Amino acid sequence: MPERIYNFSPGPATLPQEVLAQAGRDIVNYNNTGMSLIELSHRSKDFMAVAEETESLLRELLNVPDNYKVLFLQGGASTQFAMIPMNLLGNGKSATYLNTGTWAKKAIKEANIIAGADVAYSSEDSSFNHVPAQDDYTVAPDSEYVYFVSNNTIYGTQFKQFPQSEKMLVCDMSSDILSREIDIKPFGLIFAGAQKNMGPAGATVVIIRDDLLDCTPDSVPTMFRYKTHADKGSMFNTPPCFAIYVIGLVLKWLKNTGGVAEIEKINREKAALLYQAIDQTDFFKGHAREDSRSMMNITFNLPTPELESKLVADALEAGFSGLKGHRSIGGLRASIYNAFPRQGVVDLVEFMAEFERKNG
């Protein structure tokens, strides 16, 4: 087996090594059943127990109030861009959207297919290098909800404070769910693809306030109605069994690490190490405005694109993978989600200093 390297990939992203080891064992023989975990019927006692435990850990770690349902759906986070307006914007209703990057734009496009998206703010003119402050936009009085992306994976920006509004919030938390403590109550709906901060690709978590389950127009087909999945505990049809199981392992790992409050401290520390390294020299330049910097995806540039390519190549050779920035902004991006080890950040910082000495 080759030695494990540091994987800075934005998603699917690095997972705790002990989770991978456990999944490896269970994929051959789950809990001495003589069957693989991926051979278990989703209606079997064994798998039902896995699903129940995963949901209850998520509820516990995120402090999800009783009047919210937790769903495990397929179709990726991107399907939610359409499912949200399909379910919540019937009969000519509209909603307010904050355009802070690629994922917000895609959600706005889908909302406009189905209903009306009122884009109250956009940071596109400044290459999405920041998120808005509270008084940078107004929410239209007839809006059903305020939609935003809590962490902009591609640009490396993050809301430190969530929007304050009388309207309910709807949030794409794909790349920072479980990374910091949050209060669920202002939200009507939160969703997150698992593959950034929770587990493997294949499952999308939706946390939805239960009174919203009844406002879906009759014209919406069965599989696209939240109520369909809520009524059947995400087992209306075959759920993404493997992904749900691995999410459960990741949540156990997170609980053993000390839960969300503890991982938030660690995440702050890791991000601070990298931002310090970027700030202490003119050789590196952060993409995100300081007030909007993400703890999860750290985006930065070097003096030239050639140096950026060289850093990516040299880093790979030194055992740091996945540092190339997204094609839409170039540069570098270090994704350091919950499961990314602190030592990997320490080592990268050292590598960057050495790279500057040689090439600066």
Cα-flanking dihedrals φ and ψ of residue 209, to 5°? Answer: -65, 135
For CA atoms 175, 73, 31, 60, the dihedral sign is: positive
| Site membership for ligand PLP, residue 319 (CB under 6 A) | no
Name which of residues 251 to 290 contact ligand PLP (CB under 6 A): none
Rounded least distance, CB 11 to ligand PLP, Å: 5
- Residue in 50, 62, 73, 77 binding ligand PLP, rule: CB under 6 A: 77
Q: Residue from 9, 44, 56, 78 that binds ligand PLP (CB under 6 A)? A: 78
Whose Cβ is closer to ligand PLP: residue 143's or residue 175's?
A: 175
In this chain, which residue has its C-beta nearest to ligand PLP?
Answer: 76
Q: Is 76 in the site for ligand PLP (CB under 6 A)?
A: yes
- CA-only gyration radius of the chain, Å: 21
Look up 66 and say whether it is catalytic: no
Cis peptide before 65 (omega within 30 of 0): no
**DSSP-derived 3-state class of residue 207:** strand
| Smallest separation (angstroms) from ligand PLP to the CB of 205 | 11
Residue 38: C-alpha distances to residues 30, 98, 218, 234, 287 (Å): 9, 40, 35, 17, 42
What is the x/- site pattern for ligand PLP, positions 114-153, by CB under 6 A? -----------------------------------x---x
- 106 DSSP assignment: H
Q: Where are the alpha helices (DSSP H) in 115-161?
A: none
Q: Mask: binding to ligand PLP, 152-191, rule CB under 6 A, as x and -?
A: -x------------------x-xx----------------
**Among 16, 163, 193, 344, interactor with ligand PLP by CB under 6 A:** 193
Known catalytic membership, residue 253: no
In the complex, the smallest distance separating the C-beta of residue 43 from ligand PLP, rounded to whole angstroms, is: 26
Phi and psi angles of residue 191, each rounded to the nearest 5 degrees, phi first: -135, 160
Give residues 11-30 in contact with ligand PLP (rule: CB under 6 A): 11
Q: Decide whether 11 or 156 has the Cβ nearer to ligand PLP.
A: 11
Strand order of the β-sheet with 332-335 is 285-286, 297-301, 332-335
Separation CA 191–CA 38 (nearest Å): 25
Select 76 or 233, whichever has its Cβ closest to ligand PLP: 76
Nearest alpha-carbon partner for 151 in 356, 297, 344: 297
Answer whether 254's CB lies under 8 Å from 339's CB. Answer: no
Interface map 81-110 toward ligand PLP (x if CB under 6 A): ----------------------x-------
196: contact with ligand PLP by CB under 6 A: yes
Whether 88 and 211 have beta carbons less than 8 Å apart is answered as: no
Name the active-site residue from 26, 69, 167, 172. Answer: 172
Which DSSP letter does residue 3 get? P
- Is residue 196 part of the annotated active site? The answer reads yes
Q: Pick from 339, 305, 87, 127: which is nearest to 214 by CA?
A: 87
What amino acid positions are annotated as catalytic residues? Answer: 103, 172, 196
* Residues of this chain that bind ligand PLP (CB under 6 A): 11, 76-78, 103, 149, 153, 172, 174-175, 193, 196
